[in-house]
Structure 1
């Protein structure tokens, strides 16, 4: 019988990876140290596979997208440097999650490219997966990208289905909710400045520290549009996968070294 052996909330800013930091090694150092801690703890639990819930993968409007290719390849570029990664896909688990979700009435897309199987069955791995996976053990992966068009209740339900599928498998699995937070902290950033960024991030920090991850769903649409967080949906899926009565949080760090917030936290089962 399978089980979730470890889970965490991580950011995905490229400069967290030391090889991409260039002249800015100090800029995300606090987060980098936290990521090293999370990676060490993940390895100690010896999972067979990793599930990454990312906002930046291949998206299909109104669908939960799950990669079903043989492998994934991706790279992240910062400061004229490139970090490249290839991972095999844990296809039986990916297919099982999709089947369970479809039977529960959730809209799900299984994604492939090129050929059904074999070396040409490869899809791109986005930076929302590449960055946290750079700190994790080299294992087969399941890559999931939710659509923001789906409701918060659907996110929670999908998380419950994710847990059920893992428990019905023969795999020990680690889950990574890949989440950057508000993106309007700095006028010089690509989304400009809005005072709600600080307010919303402070609320998110409080929510995660309290362990009541479901409350991320109470952030208003107005605040989402002005502060531009991209971690709410992945966190809600994680909340469904690790129920509140079976959940404890270890807070690691929060910082805003550029224009967006970075949070690292461990989400353990009691």
Structure 2
């Protein structure tokens, strides 16, 4: 409940005139979040998947509310080279997820598609700026000259699933769920700590955001709050379906074995991304696609590790409290055994956060769960202060 009230307030705080990096989000890419009716788990696991689904919808709405001109998408599962980070350099990217490849699909649709337009001119300039500042980044194109490919660059689950929730927000900000899905009266479970556990600044922020949320039309203080009650900026029919242009940055394949040793490099990349993108005459949002520990289940493909719980707890503390050490020390200590694909992208995001004035940063952990063998989290970050 507290997380949803904070999200209402964050959405309502978004100004529409300043141009800079305005905020971002961490979103899961687990297929079971698309339509939890297809997930044949225990009651608790199904409830967790359902909550993650609705929180992903809310995250998409938050990203839409940032009114970004450009969205930078960081993916751990895109086209990858062993050493350099890759910026996609075709005019477009497209792909799909076949749900039957992940779990039996009983409820249509069973194929989810996503397509985005990529800003190739900005990609070229950004790549040059990142290389000039010492980062190991290259561009990758196909099906034609660089920046002019006649076919889209391929997208897969790491991009398609978060983009599905973003696209839904742009298609219809007031749409709550797929036909046939029933929202339970139980509110989304929040891992957010109570005010007594938060630093003093977060206590003040929580009270202020909650008070503002209570005053918004459609907000609710009861346990039956629905995501459709969250307020959003009005959009016209002509522009409601148009996603912003994207920049797409893929992690190198060495992240599978060397993500901890990459931490200084990932932070430096985040710093360089901020330095260039924050200076543009455009509103920029940052979207991290990534899941948490993949070692929650002994029957899963990566087995079980006690480090899964420690890693996920540290990441949640980071997302709740903007606790840098929780991510860079505690989570980094466990990621080798936890096997998280999302860790590198979150460290890049931390490199961006390091450049934002502390008083301008708000974060809300919307949801966390591990209904399957891997943990998933929805978290949003606003860099716009109280403007």
TM-score (norm 1): 0.91
Q: Quote the Cα distance in structure 1 between the aligned partners of 2:142 and 2:131.
A: 21
Who is 2:380 aligned against? 266
Gap runs ≥5 in structure 2: 1-17, 41-45, 171-242
Who is 2:306 aligned against? 195
Question: Greater CA radius of gyration, 1 or 2?
Answer: 2
The yes-or-no answer on 1:141 pairing with 2:252 is no
Who is 2:285 aligned against? 174
How far is 1:118 from its partner?
Answer: 4.4
Who is 2:74 aligned against? 53
SS of the aligned residue for 1:39 comes to helix
Q: Quote the Cα distance in structure 1 between the aligned partners of 2:299 and 2:88.
A: 35
Q: Quote the Cα distance in structure 2 between the aligned partners of 1:214 and 1:222.
A: 11
TM-score (norm 2): 0.65
The yes-or-no answer on 1:14 pairing with 2:63 is no
Who is 1:70 aligned against? 91
Q: Quote the Cα distance in structure 2 between the aligned partners of 1:222 and 1:215.
A: 10
The yes-or-no answer on 1:238 pairing with 2:359 is no
Task: Note if contact 2:317-2:323 (Cα within 8 Å) is conserved in structure 1.
Answer: no
Structure 1 residues 122 and 268, CA gap change in structure 2 (3 angstroms): same
Task: Note if contact 2:318-2:326 (Cα within 8 Å) is conserved in structure 1.
Answer: yes
Give aligned pairs, total.
269
SS of the aligned residue for 1:135 comes to helix
Q: Quote the Cα distance in structure 1 between the aligned partners of 2:148 and 2:315.
A: 42
Structure 1 residues 8 and 259, CA gap change in structure 2 (3 angstroms): same
SS of the aligned residue for 1:206 comes to helix
SS of the aligned residue for 1:260 comes to coil
How far is 1:77 from its partner?
Answer: 2.0
How far is 1:207 from its partner?
Answer: 2.4
Q: Quote the Cα distance in structure 2 between the aligned partners of 1:151 and 1:164.
A: 20
Task: Note if contact 1:93-1:169 (Cα within 8 Å) is conserved in structure 2.
Answer: no
Q: Quote the Cα distance in structure 1 between the aligned partners of 2:333 and 2:275.
A: 34
Who is 1:112 aligned against? 141
Structure 1 residues 42 and 223, CA gap change in structure 2 (3 angstroms): closer
Per mean C-alpha deviation after superposition, the further-off stretch among 29-38 and 216-225 is: 216-225
Task: Note if contact 2:365-2:380 (Cα within 8 Å) is conserved in structure 1.
Answer: yes
How far is 1:146 from its partner?
Answer: 2.3
SS of the aligned residue for 2:293 comes to coil
Structure 1 residues 27 and 207, CA gap change in structure 2 (3 angstroms): closer
Query: For 1:157-168, what aligned pairs fall within 5 Å after superposition?
Result: 157-168=268-279
Task: Note if contact 1:217-1:232 (Cα within 8 Å) is conserved in structure 2.
Answer: no
Task: Note if contact 2:48-2:370 (Cα within 8 Å) is conserved in structure 1.
Answer: no
Query: For 1:251-262, what aligned pairs fall within 5 Å after superposition?
Result: 251-262=365-376
Gap runs ≥5 in structure 1: none
Structure 1 residues 213 and 134, CA gap change in structure 2 (3 angstroms): farther
Q: Quote the Cα distance in structure 2 between the aligned partners of 1:3 and 1:168.
A: 7
SS of the aligned residue for 1:251 comes to strand
Structure 1 residues 214 and 63, CA gap change in structure 2 (3 angstroms): farther
Per mean C-alpha deviation after superposition, the further-off stretch among 159-168 and 114-123 is: 114-123
